[in-house]
């Protein structure tokens, strides 16, 4: 059962800065936000948290995670492992969106959906995208529109791969059909119907999206390209896309090899995009957690492989603040309000009365994660997991 929780005297970032506030949580929701609340005489079972030393932010929203692992670019032994509950919670993530990846043959939507339900019952909120890297997309019911209407957890489609040697080299028409199906499914189900786009390192960059939108009623804003910090050219193409009104996503999981070979670190990308004049609500970070991070040489041969980490989401936001002078509010926006908005998650990503009680307390001195509350339940306190996944020790 969820207790009533009273958080006292936190410096509140909703994600906009609201100053010193108290927050009351009841029934899994934010019941009240204000000053000087006192429930001492109420005779209710209340847990009081003194947060005078903390910033209070919304729980983090990770818009792209491979819940059931991904990859396999180096053969079966390189298929990456599943995510566990504390991979998310110890990194402040209380909402995550699961996707398939390069491999939609041995990784399936049924398995993804089952894992999403498991993580949900363990404590966080999960959603998924239907579809796959390849087009025609893998679906559960045989049809993207039906998947979005009939399956609660499906909120969009993707990540579909473009400008990548691992893509299905989709035609303009194929991309149009996917976006149109997601649009109709989204409208009828009251969901975003967003098209998550995996951006490869190919020369064409966003051209396939522009070609798909041209001459149709599709909107650029329905496409949500990720890995837009993959290299300098892709990053600059992303700035242009955002200038036209789109939302772009930077991937926080990385390797030293990638950073030495032209990847723009997500924290630096966020700082530079803000400096360029892109609005905070058009910039998001996602972890690409549990993805494979393959390292290729110029001939396309696989040199090695690492695993993406959900906790890199928080680490990159922190780095943006501490090393790149991004304001706390803007950095937090990129992992809360901005992804929640593009994904159409109205109960998530902000602190306001009536919204889901997903909350992170960051220590003011070092920005370490102290407390994580998801759906009104304390999952992390003093940086330690109070709740673990079913098979975690
Ligand atoms: Zn991807």
176-209: pLDDT as tens digits: 999 999 999 999 999 999 999 999 999 999 999 9
Q: Are the C-beta atoms of residues 291 and 306 closer than 8 Å to each other? A: no
For the segment 238-259, the average pLDDT, to the nearest whole number, is 96
For the segment 139-161, the average pLDDT, to the nearest whole number, is 97
pLDDT surpasses 70 at 237:
yes
What local confidence, expressed as pLDDT, does residue 393 receive?
A: 86
Q: Are the C-beta atoms of residues 220 and 245 closer than 8 Å to each other? A: yes
pLDDT surpasses 60 at 1:
no
How confident is residue 2, by pLDDT bands cut at 50, 70 and 90?
low
Surrounding ion ligand 1 within 5 Å at CB are 159, 198
For the segment 310-331, the average pLDDT, to the nearest whole number, is 98
What local confidence, expressed as pLDDT, does residue 40 receive?
A: 76
How confident is residue 71, by pLDDT bands cut at 50, 70 and 90?
confident
Cα–ligand 1 centroid distance for 348 (angstroms): 23
What local confidence, expressed as pLDDT, does residue 39 receive?
A: 83
pLDDT in tens, 95-115: 999 999 899 999 999 999 999
Strand 377-381 relative to strand 369-374: parallel, antiparallel, unpaired? antiparallel
Tell me which residue of 275, 217, 209 sits closest to 244, measured CA to CA.
209
Question: What is the distance between the alpha carbons of residues 311 and 322, in angstroms, rounded to a whole number?
Answer: 17
In terms of phi and psi (left: phi > 0; alpha: psi -120 to 50; beta: otherwise), the region of 28 is left
Mean residue pLDDT of the chain comes to 96
Residue 273 structure tokens = 């995009």
**Least confident span in 68-82, 154-168, 203-217, 281-295:** 68-82
What local confidence, expressed as pLDDT, does residue 41 receive?
A: 79
What local confidence, expressed as pLDDT, does residue 74 receive?
A: 84
Cα–ligand 1 centroid distance for 1 (angstroms): 38
For the segment 17-35, the average pLDDT, to the nearest whole number, is 97
Cα–ligand 1 centroid distance for 361 (angstroms): 30
Query: Is the full-model pTM beyond 0.75?
Result: yes
pLDDT surpasses 70 at 235:
yes
Tell me which residue of 211, 118, 220 sits closest to 173, measured CA to CA.
211
Cα–ligand 1 centroid distance for 68 (angstroms): 14
Cα–ligand 1 centroid distance for 227 (angstroms): 7
pLDDT in tens, 209-227: 999 999 999 999 999 999 9
For the segment 24-53, the average pLDDT, to the nearest whole number, is 92
CA 160 remoteness from chain centre: 16
- CB neighbour class for 76 (10 Å; exposed up to 12, middle 13-18, buried from 19): exposed
Cα–ligand 1 centroid distance for 130 (angstroms): 14
Q: Which residues contact 71 (CB under 8 A, 6 or more apart)?
A: 78, 79, 80, 101, 102, 103, 291, 292, 294, 305
pLDDT surpasses 90 at 377:
yes
Q: Could you give the percent of the chain with pLDDT greater than 90?
A: 89
pLDDT surpasses 90 at 303:
no
What local confidence, expressed as pLDDT, does residue 330 receive?
A: 98
**Least confident span in 42-46, 185-189, 205-209, 331-335:** 42-46
Q: How far apart are the first and last CA of the chain?
A: 23
Cα–ligand 1 centroid distance for 64 (angstroms): 8
How confident is residue 363, by pLDDT bands cut at 50, 70 and 90?
very high
* Residue that wins the pLDDT comparison between 20 and 78: 20
Question: What is the distance between the alpha carbons of residues 375 and 355, in angstroms, rounded to a whole number?
Answer: 10
Cα–ligand 1 centroid distance for 42 (angstroms): 50
Domains, the chain: 4-57+350-385 (2.30.40.10), 59-342 (3.20.20.140)
For the segment 164-184, the average pLDDT, to the nearest whole number, is 97
Cα–ligand 1 centroid distance for 324 (angstroms): 25
Cα–ligand 1 centroid distance for 142 (angstroms): 23
CA 127 remoteness from chain centre: 10
Tell me which residue of 389, 362, 336, 388 sits closest to 12, measured CA to CA.
362
Q: Which positions are annotated as active-site residues?
A: 288
pLDDT surpasses 80 at 298:
no
């Amino acid at each position: 059962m969820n207790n009533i929780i009273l958080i006292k005297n936190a410096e509140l970032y909703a994600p906009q800065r609201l100053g010193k506030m108290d927050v009351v949580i009841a029934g899994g929701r934010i019941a009240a936000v204000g000053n000087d609340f006192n429930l001492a005489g109420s005779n209710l079972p209340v847990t009081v948290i003194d947060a005078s030393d903390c910033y209070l932010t919304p729980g983090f929203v990770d818009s792209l995670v491979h819940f059931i692992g991904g990859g396999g670019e180096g053969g079966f032994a390189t298929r990456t492992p599943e995510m566990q509950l504390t991979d998310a919670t110890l990194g402040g993530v209380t909402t995550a969106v699961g996707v398939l990846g390069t491999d939609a043959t041995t990784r399936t939507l049924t398995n993804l959906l089952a894992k999403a339900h498991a993580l949900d019952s363990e404590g966080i909120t999960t959603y998924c995208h239907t579809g796959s890297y390849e087009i025609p997309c893998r679906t559960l019911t045989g049809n993207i529109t039906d998947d979005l209407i009939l399956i609660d957890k499906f909120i969009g489609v993707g990540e579909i791969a473009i400008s990548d040697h691992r893509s299905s080299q989709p035609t303009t028409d194929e991309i149009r059909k996917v976006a149109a199906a997601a649009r109709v499914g989204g409208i009828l189900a009251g969901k975003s119907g967003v098209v998550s786009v995996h951006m490869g390192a190919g020369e064409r960059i966003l051209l396939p999206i522009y070609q798909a939108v041209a001459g149709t009623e599709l909107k650029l804003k329905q496409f949500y390209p990720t890995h837009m910090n993959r290299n300098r050219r892709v990053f600059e193409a992303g700035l242009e896309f955002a200038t036209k009104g789109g939302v772009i996503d930077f991937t926080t999981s990385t390797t030293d090899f990638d950073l030495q070979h032209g990847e723009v670190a997500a924290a630096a990308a966020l700082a530079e995009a803000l400096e360029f004049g892109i609005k905070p609500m058009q910039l998001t970070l996602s972890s690409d957690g549990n993805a494979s991070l393959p390292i290729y040489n110029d001939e396309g041969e696989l040199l090695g492989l690492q695993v993406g980490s959900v906790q890199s989401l928080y680490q990159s936001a922190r780095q943006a603040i501490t090393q790149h002078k991004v304001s706390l509010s803007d950095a937090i926006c990129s992992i809360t309000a901005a992804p929640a908005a593009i994904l159409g998650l109205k109960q998530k990503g902000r602190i306001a009365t009536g919204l889901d009680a997903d909350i992170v307390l960051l220590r003011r001195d070092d920005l370490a994660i102290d407390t994580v509350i998801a759906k009104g339940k304390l999952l992390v306190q003093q940086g330690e997991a109070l709740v673990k996944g079913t098979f975690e020790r």
